[in-house]
Amino acid sequence: MALLLAKGDRLEDWRGLDEFVAGYRQAAIRTVAARQPEAMGDLLAVIGDELGMVAAQNRQFIEQCDQLSARLTSIDDQEALITLVTGFYEIAYGHFRRFQSPPAFFEAANAFLAALIGMQVRTLRQQDGVELPPLALLALGPAGRLEYTRFCRVQLALVWGGAGTPAEDQLMAEFAEELMAWLRACGIALEEAISPLQPDWRGSLEQWRERLECGVAGNDKGELIELVRLVDQAVLVDEQGLAGRFRALCSEQLRQRPAVANLVERCTVLSNGLGMMGGFRLNRSGPYRGRFALLQHALLPLGACVGGLCLHHDLVEDGTPRRLRELVRNGRLDVDLAERALQAWHLFSRHRLTLELAASPGQDCRDILNLDLALLNHDDQEQLRTSLETVADLQRHLHVSFGQQA
């Protein structure tokens, strides 16, 4: 239960970490004491040096991330900014290569993305000479689950406080065009169909309220599919508390049965990566024939199921690990299944980031996240199989849980 007992998602925050270090140290001492007691002093010195070096490397990473975020406010040259963004990715992936910690990577990447976009929003406010209404900018999709990476196509929604007049909408449409053009120039991958460039993904708070109310009441499956994207949202920019008010509005509308039913139905039919006989579902054609589609069969169904459970039980939390802990705290998920789901999330995320280490900037994530199982040893394949079985268990749990309240 070390993962579920964690205080947070950061490796250095885990409650079980101190216990693990102490237990590892004692186990090493017992082994050496039984075989080479004269080497005890040398062993303790080596352990101390190694732990000190690891801690120093991690502190350096945190300091570098803070320095890069601070430098964002003083850069006005596009090429220098691109260099800074590239530099961030280099140190973030370098940290993952060394520590194999998805939570640490995602925490740094999401913080950097928020700092980058926040800086540009402030710049646009200053240079346009037009007074913009207070606004909130939210990431959806993987970044909305706090799992942003270099290859993640960022999905964005824009909300502002105002009357929602045509003139105001035109002003905010121009703002969105400038922001998105700037992000493209910085090398940020964008999902432009799900962005403030599209009228359905921008609006005043009242326009969003009307959109959500009509969408849920209309019970149109296609429209609901789009609206339930708002289940996964992470705040990038928040002015005058708009993000919190928008989150409350989304929660109020999306927890209604038509929206929940739509999400539950889609979650339970997603592929969990295993065939009827327990074999892996591999790509049957195309350039990645014979490989395992990690996004389609693992990352997507796991994140969707956990998000669906939180929506069904009216629990508001960000990110899959935190959502799992919230489900356990509220008695909506048993500890064993939640622990296995959290282990699966860590495994899938490590595979994802490992594949990204070998990718080239500009590649589409759908081309990157195809796992060659032949490169995994037997134990690694069994761990993947067990994790996919956990996804199937989550799908069944969601289906049963929702059906009991029908």
Please provide the DSSP assignment of 161-230 as one string: SS---HHHHHHHHHHHHHHHHHHHHTT--B-TTSSTTSGGGEEEHHHHHHHHHHHHHHT-HHHHHHHGGG
Does 378 share its domain with 405? yes
Q: Which is it for strands 202-204 and 155-160: parallel, antiparallel or unpaired? A: parallel
Residue type, 307: G
Tell me the whole-structure pTM to 2 decimals.
0.87
Q: Identify whether 260 is part of a domain.
A: no
In this predicted structure, what is the pLDDT of residue 36? Answer: 67
Residues 282 and 359 in one domain: yes
Whole-number pLDDT of residue 283: 94
241 and 284 assigned to the same domain: no
Q: Are residues 248 and 275 in the same domain?
A: no
* Same domain membership, residue 286 and residue 399: yes
Tell me the mean pLDDT per 10 residues along the chain, length 406: 47 45 62 65 62 66 79 82 92 89 92 93 82 95 96 96 89 95 93 96 96 92 92 96 96 92 90 90 94 96 95 92 94 94 96 96 90 96 97 95 74
Out of 254, 277, 308, a domain closes at: 254
Task: Determine the structural domain holding residue 71 and report its residue range.
Answer: 1-102
Residue 67 lies inside a defined structural domain of this protein: yes
On whether the CB atoms of residues 232 and 155 are closer than 8 A, the answer is no
Degrees, nearest 5: CA angle 281-285-289 = 65
What's the total number of domains in the chain?
3
Is 288 in the same domain as 376? yes
What residues contact 320, with CB distance under 8 A and at least 6 apart?
145, 147, 302, 303, 306, 307, 341, 342, 345
Residue 207, in any domain of the structure: yes
